[in-house]
Structures are given as structure tokens and as C-alpha cells.
Amino acid sequence: MSAAQDAGAGSFGRRRRDRARTDDIADGRDETETERYDRNWIELLQELRVLQTGTQILTGFLLALAFQPAFGDLTGGQRAFYLFLIVAAAVSTIIALAPVALHRVLFRQHEKKRIVGYGHAALLTALITVSVLVVGVVAFVFDVVVGEAAALVAAAGLGATIVVLWIVVPVVWRVRGGGSST
């Protein structure tokens, strides 16, 4: 066997070991653990992009409000709530960017598994802060336009919708085993 063939055989053997399949993958994918974490990271980044875009739009809306002529007509309570929403938007942005920052700091340190776990936790936390932000923005707008009672009703309705769609549906889905029978 030539040196080139020998190197190729060694490379092939190493590649086969790297591609050792894991038994704990129940979704039928033919991937290594490393491939799975790479895929999980890519999926997580896609979810973060969607979340970040929505957060940026809400943040831009909030920041623009302070420069509107009618902003001076807000009550002290409305201004305080507005500032709370600004902080919630900033916190949501920071939390959503945290996995990307961690990945950048730990780049090429073979920490993908831990980064994916951290990113998962950060994304769940960001969803909580964004839900508070969305409910708060709707309540704020209803309060300014219609009044406090309407704001409370709108916030309660939207909050209930978020709980059903973001918590109840996924829990029921998980308990029932996920996908459809087709």
C-alpha cells in the first residue's frame, strides 16, 4: 500500500469513528452527535433571528414614541411604564444575543454541545421577556388610546393567547407524542 493510500485509509478509519452513530436519536436521522449539535446550533440561530427581528421592530416603535409631540401628554404612570418597556426591549435583545456572543468567545474550543444547551436556555428566557414586552406594548397602546380598563383586557387576552400557544400547545403536543400519523 502506498503512503497516499495508507494516509487515505487512516483518514477513512478516523472518519468512520467520527461518524459513529448515537443510539439516543429517536427522530430517525442518520447523523453523528457532532452533526446533531451543528444542526441544533443552526436551528437555534434561525429561531434567534426571527425573535431578534420582532424585538428590533418593537424596540424601534418604542424609541420613536419618545420623539412624538403627544409624548408630553402621557401621565407619570404611562411614562414609567414606557421606560419599563424600553428596559424590557433592551433586556430581550441582550438575552437573544447572548448565545451568539458566547459562541464567538468560545469559537473553535469544541464547546458546541454546551453552547447549544446555553443557547436553548437563553432562547427560552428571551421568549419570556419578549412575551412580557409584547403584552406590555399592546397594553401601553390601549391605555393611551382607549384607557386603562381596555389596556387590562387587551393585556389579559394577549397574555392568555401567549400562554396557550407558547406553553399549553407545546406541552400537549409533547405529551401526545408530537407529529401526525400521516
Cell of 99: 448565545
Domain residue spans of the chain: 40-176
pLDDT in tens, 114-128: 888 989 999 999 999
Q: Are 81 and 160 in contact (CB under 8 A)?
A: no
Cell of 8: 487515505
Q: Are 115 and 71 in contact (CB under 8 A)?
A: no
Q: By C-alpha distance, which of 113, 104, 123 is closest to 44?
A: 123
If phi > 0 it is left, if psi is from -120 to 50 it is alpha, else beta; for residue 30 that is beta
- More confident: 22 or 66: 66
Q: What is the pTM of this model?
A: 0.75
Checking if the pLDDT of 148 tops 90, the result is: yes
- Number of alpha helices (DSSP H) and beta strands (DSSP E) in the chain: 6, 0
